[in-house]
A and B are shown apart, each in its own frame.
Chain A
Amino acid sequence: MSPHLVLRVVAKMLIPLIALFAFYVQFHGDFGPGGGFQAGVILAAGIILYALVFGIDAAKKAVPPSWIRIGMSFGVLLYGGTGVATWMLGGNFLDYTQFAPESTHAAGQHWGIFAVELGVFCTVTCAMLAIFYAFGSRTPELSDEDW
């Protein structure tokens, strides 16, 4: 029997909740504290917890390293693309009001903030995982006696 039975059971319970919390922080950032940076870090922490408890190979199956470069780039592209979109609509770079110029309640601003926060979220999650994978992969594996 694995000596980590307790850890595994608890981690299995917690990781979905951590991910849920990350999304809460992400999408509730307009109203409470939080935003893309924090949410990205929390989601990455959840995945790292998975890697610590179940081994880094299992984590690499769940979140393949090949996604990481794409995810990191996608985040910046989404952020910059929001700015490019505002250019296309005739405004200055990152002028979100262009998305809904007629709105009295600044709907354009809401859409813009939503998009850029999502971009930050993607980049932060993937960058954190990149760093963790890079360091974690250099030991053969995180075997039991190491922890």
Chain B
Amino acid sequence: MHFSPIFILDFGLMAMLLVVAFAVVRIRSLFAIVMLQGVYSLLSAAWFVSLDAVDVAFTEAAVGAGISTVLMLGAMLLTDRQAKPIPVHQKMGPFLVVVVAGLAMFYAIGDMPAYGDALSPANAYIGAEYIEATKREIFIPNVVTAVLASYRGYDTFGETVVIFMAGLGVLLLLGLNGNAGKWRAKPNGHNIGEGAPTPARNPVENEPKPVAKSTKAKRTAKKTVGVKS
């Protein structure tokens, strides 16, 4: 095993990813977690560059480190600044799943092709053909774009629909003006159910307080505490 700069870079980045991932799991301040996730994204973007996956790195940097950090911060402002502690017994299940999945992957390492092996099936079969065929059939220098938009354009269509659906889902559930969730469904006849709210009761009455107001109050409360301490 030779310690080329690329090798050291790869391992250094992976080690940093690991450290950041542990920090994200351990820390309970949501603000710090959001920031660390941005750090994680930037690190993985750097790692993708070292793997020569520039397009992926670009996406990761733009989406992971850029916009999702802002969106997470926006979401965090509406909730709280601290995560609630989770009792250990609730953590055991996910922990076991992670350990088992990780061990399974370790089990398979022996039969995986070597890192960067040009003759591995993933690189030699369709991968190589894409590179050849793009030159021959599409005439654009960026093979990634050719695969994404033409050879596997149908997948990208599906992904576009996923993004559309994400936006539509937000529109449906939250609304763009922050006033969703007040409307109540009513049965069309007599309501004799226990679970459903009766039509006689005023639905606004037992609404929780408007979210924005309560978080605001909480925030100012936190702030004064922060200054005093």
Contacts and interface: CB of A to CB of B under 8 A. Distances in A.
Interface of A: 25, 29-35, 37-38, 41-42, 44-45, 48, 52, 65, 68-69, 72-73, 75-76, 79-80, 83, 93-94, 96, 105-106, 109-110, 112-113, 116-117, 119-120, 123-124, 126-128, 130-140, 145-146
Contacts of B148: 35
A119 B6 CA distance: 38
Interface of B: 54-55, 57-59, 62-63, 66-67, 70-71, 74-75, 77-78, 137-142, 144-146, 148-150, 153-154, 156-157, 160-161, 163-164, 166-168, 170-171, 174-178, 211-213, 215-216, 219, 223
A33 B178 CA distance: 37
Contacts of A127: 163-164, 166-167, 170
Q: Is the interface of B mostly helix, strand, loop or mixed?
A: helix
Contacts of A110: 138-140
11 contacts: A30-B142, A37-B63, A76-B160, A106-B137, A109-B137, A113-B138, A113-B149, A113-B150, A131-B71, A134-B175, A139-B216
Contacts, number: 165
A146 B81 CA distance: 13
Contact of B138 (A69, A83, A109, A131): A109
A105 B163 CA distance: 32
Given A29-B142, A93-B154, A123 B164 contact: yes
A116 B153 contact: yes
A72 B143 CA distance: 27
B62 A42 contact: yes
Nearest to A136: B74
Contacts of A112: 149-150, 153
Given A30-B142, A135-B75, A138-B174, 8 more contacts: A68-B167, A76-B160, A79-B156, A94-B153, A113-B146, A116-B157, A123-B163, A131-B71
Contacts of A145: 223
B140 A113 contact: yes
A44 B62 CA distance: 10
A139 B215 contact: yes
Contact of B170 (A32, A48, A134): A134
B154 to A, nearest CB: 6
Contacts of B154: 93-94
A76 B219 CA distance: 40
Contacts of A128: 67, 71, 167
Given A48-B67, A137-B176, A140-B212, A33 B144 contact: yes
Contacts of A135: 71, 74-75, 77-78, 174
Nearest to B161: A76
A96 B150 contact: yes
A143 B166 CA distance: 28
B157 A94 contact: yes
A33 B38 CA distance: 21
Contacts of B78: 135, 138-139
A83 B154 CA distance: 9
Contact of B141 (A30, A44, A126, A134): A30
B58 A38 contact: yes
